[in-house]
Amino acid sequence: MIQVNLLPPEYRKAESTPVGRFLAIVSGAVLVTSALVAYGYVHYSELKGIREVRASVEAQYTNKAAQAKTAAALQTEIAAYETRRKAIQKVARARIMRSRKLDEYLDVIHNDNDRTEFYVWLRKLSVKPGRVARRGKATSGGSWSFSGYAETTEFSRVTNLRDAIRKDTFFDDFQNISLPNFKAVTWDDGLEPDRAGSFNYSMGLKVLGWQHSAKK
């Protein structure tokens, strides 16, 4: 049957949108909106956090790289100082500090200017280096000999000097000291003193580096 609507257009009933088309439109709108929401969330929230984390990690890496470079430079410097220290120790073990021993020796001779036990003045001091074997190993630390005069002809003054030397730390580098060689002498030149006790001693030094061998 054919139906004809003779009403004017303004009085006609509007045609409804088909259900299939309506669902398609709604689904498309929902998908577009969801995509926009997801993009905004990722771009403005998650991505921002990731960028901040990346910037923090890069800053930490730069800082650690600088610290590693500084540590490597310090390690190189430490290695250089360690090599230098070992070289200095090797040289120190191969010789004795003559200036230090001479200073210690003169302190014993001077005895803080105390003339109670002894009072002597030196005439000669001789220091000889140690002997070295063919393989480069020292067999002797050398010798230290000296001679002089005591203020009186009393033999005890010279033995007091020997005892003072043996008790002082100066003698730690020595292995022996000879018995006193003493002789009373007089002068008639009109000068003071007109008499004194002539003496001489010789001491043998320990082998160089004996302190390190003892520690081992």
CATH of the domain at 152: 3.30.70
Q: Tell me if 173 is assigned to some domain.
A: yes
- Does an H or E element contain 193, and which? none
From the list 164, 148, 156, 160, the residue with the least C-alpha distance to 104 is 164
- Please give the tally of structural domains in the chain: 2
- Does an H or E element contain 103, and which? helix 98-110
Same domain? For 113 and 67 the reply is no
Same domain? For 89 and 138 the reply is no
Q: Residue 79 above 90 pLDDT?
A: no
Q: How many CB atoms lie within 10 A of CB 158?
A: 24
Same domain? For 152 and 64 the reply is no
Q: Say if pTM beats, i.e. exceeds, 0.85.
A: no
Q: Which single residue is written with the structure tokens 């043996």?
A: 166
Q: Give the per-residue pLDDT at 75.
A: 87
Domain span at 33: 18-93
Q: Residue 163 above 90 pLDDT?
A: yes
Q: Give the per-residue pLDDT at 167.
A: 94
Q: Residue 212 above 90 pLDDT?
A: no
Q: Tell me if 13 is assigned to some domain.
A: no
